[in-house]
Structure 1
């Protein structure tokens, strides 16, 4: 589900946010799981959310998930590649744009990450 609009921000920043959040949803999903991606806007903000039906994040780890090098499950870290930097980079970029990021998660049910970025939006790009 996506709304068409133009974002005036660093393409690398936006691509990095999308890549990190979506790749985590894929990596930590269950077999035959589902991922819902929503992109929409209002007058001043872009909203991007990724929700999966994956393994979820325990409550005790949820406030640490955006810290550099933090990996929730040390055992799974051996089989699922990653540095633990992805979500810390996402948070850094979101805060750089004075945006906000929210996480809701339940173990064995899934995780939803929602990002809100204040942006300049134009309905029709010039080129």
Structure 2
């Protein structure tokens, strides 16, 4: 029974460093799902295990603390990632609107320039 708890504990401690930064974005969705799955496994272990020794209880408590820490960190990363994604989307929307406005002004200038040029050519003094 002790080896199952130790395997889960090692799996949890390996999940913590799996947060990686790739080109400025956080890849944590898989880690978050994995951490939640491990938390469910830990809760299932808690309900099914009869702790026969203090060592097993200590390992389980360490595992539970590690799971809670991993979940807190992942939720924080997820929150920061979502807020930065919203900011980037808002910024790109403003850039798009600025480009549209720039093109409209260019078109109006071109039409005005052509109409004045044609008026001067067709109706000389």
TM-score normalised to the size of structure 1? Answer: 0.28
Give the structure with the higher percent strand: 1
Larger-Rg structure: 2
Higher normalized contact order (CA 8 Å, seq sep 6+, divided by chain length): 1
TM-score normalised to the size of structure 2? Answer: 0.28
